[in-house]
Amino acid sequence: MKAQALHAITPYGHYIFPNGYNKITYLSKILSTNQTFIFSRIWLIMEHCTFNLPDVQASKPSIAINLTRVGVTNMKKLVEIKRKDKRPIVLISTFDVFVDLPSDRKGANLSRNFEAVDEVLEKVLSTPVYEIEQLCSDIAHNLLGRHEYANKAEVRMKSEYMIRRESPATGIKCQEVVNIFAEASAVRGHGDDNYFDVKKLIGAEVVGMTACPCAQEIMRDKAANELSDLGVDRDTIIKFLEKVPMATHNQRGKGIISIKVAHDFDVSLENIINIIEHSMSSSVYEVLKRSDEKVVVETAHMNPKFVEDCVRTMADNIVKEFPNLPDNAVITIKQTNEESIHRHNAFAERVALMGDLRMEINQS
């Protein structure tokens, strides 16, 4: 393909710069060859001219196939989220921003992705945003407005979110870190470029503690036999085992819930965090005194759970806490337990429409 010459359209006329020259080198060459140009006139041309540079991204690729996602990842931005009757939350967030690319276009104009994010974040300063998923939705809208050749835009955001907690016995105030994330996708309407079908997603990952029911039952049986050998009667053994939880091995659990809905539904992030936190054997805390440790350990061992139990508990609590979610909302629940006596981790997951999940739980 032959390279195009640069054109300069100025108040003084139309000038063509030959291939291989930029505006500086060519004007210098004009001076060196004593052509009839005055130095001041040359710099006036440079100051007032508009250069029609070639748009390489808009050219045709050598292999004409469309691409599902083209964009930028790991874009860090400072985000302010408003809260009603509370101080705003300031997050250091990471964005991944994509559009699809048709087969007749060599590349996407990636600088427009940064412009779309910055424009929406600047708008937040004057128009409050209360949900991070709505922020992603606004950016997705903006992307399709800037990338006229794209039919779909996707935005992903993740951040660390600080929550306040109190230790269970002494009430010591502490802060815990929760990973939060949001996504939005906007698809251009068929036959109507001004209509965008938007879906948004909100979710969180929370760390907690689990206690293994299987090993605990083994230890319970051993304790019962030992007490019986010592002459303790059966009724006393039963009462003792009900009062004192038996030893078992523990796991650090990581629970994840994400809920995907249409643009006109809102989902409480705080409710998601609370559901995850209370679906494991016990919460964990940054600061614990001895009396707090007793409560945490006792609570966990009185409430032993498999990784599967955690997912089922989260599903049950989602149905209870979000009765107004539409049936077509997509629910994703994951639990990973980092084993203490094994090298592997335990994992369970459920992905379902809200209507199906609601029906299963109501029939169980």
Between CA 81 and CA 142 the distance in angstroms is 19
Residue 295: both structure tokens together: 């409560």
Whether residue 265 contacts residue 326, with contact meaning beta carbons closer than 8 Å, is answered with yes
Helices and strands (H, E) in the chain, number of each type: 10, 12
Q: Of 3.30.310.80, 3.40.50.720, 3.30.365.10, 3.10.270.10, which CATH number belongs to 67-212+249-363? A: 3.10.270.10
Whether residue 335 contacts residue 307, with contact meaning beta carbons closer than 8 Å, is answered with yes
The three-class DSSP label of residue 72 is strand
At residue 128, φ and ψ (nearest 5 deg) are -60, 140
pTM of the model: 0.80
The whole-number pLDDT of residue 355 equals 97
The whole-number pLDDT of residue 288 equals 93
Whether residue 329 contacts residue 259, with contact meaning beta carbons closer than 8 Å, is answered with yes
The whole-number pLDDT of residue 304 equals 96
Q: Which of 279, 261, 271 is nearest to 325 (CA)?
A: 261
Whether residue 347 contacts residue 268, with contact meaning beta carbons closer than 8 Å, is answered with no
Is residue 6 within a helix (H) or strand (E), and if so which, with residue range? strand 6-10
Residues in the chain, how many?
364
Residue 267: both structure tokens together: 């989902």
State how far the alpha carbon of 17 is from the alpha carbons of 52, 57, 130, 166, in Å. 11, 22, 53, 71
If phi over 0 gives left and psi between -120 and 50 gives alpha, with beta otherwise, what is residue 191? Answer: left
Whether residue 134 contacts residue 141, with contact meaning beta carbons closer than 8 Å, is answered with no
CA angle 304, 310, 311 (to 5 degrees): 160
Q: What does the domain layout of the chain look like in residue ranges? A: 6-54, 67-212+249-363, 213-243
Between CA 121 and CA 127 the distance in angstroms is 10
Between CA 9 and CA 171 the distance in angstroms is 73
pLDDT values of the chain reduced to their tens digit, one per residue, 364 residues = 444 445 454 444 444 555 444 444 444 444 444 444 444 444 445 555 555 666 777 778 788 899 999 998 999 988 888 777 778 888 999 999 999 998 888 888 788 878 888 888 787 656 666 788 988 998 998 888 888 888 999 999 999 999 999 999 999 999 999 999 999 999 987 666 667 889 999 999 999 999 999 999 999 999 999 999 999 999 999 999 999 999 999 999 999 999 999 988 899 999 999 999 999 999 999 999 999 999 999 999 999 999 999 999 999 999 999 999 999 999 999 999 999 999 999 999 999 999 999 999 999 8
Q: Which of 199, 153, 160 is nearest to 181 (CA)?
A: 160
Q: Which of 137, 140, 95 is nearest to 263 (CA)?
A: 137
Helix extents (H) in the chain? 23-32, 39-48, 111-124, 132-146, 213-229, 234-243, 269-277, 290-302, 307-321, 354-363
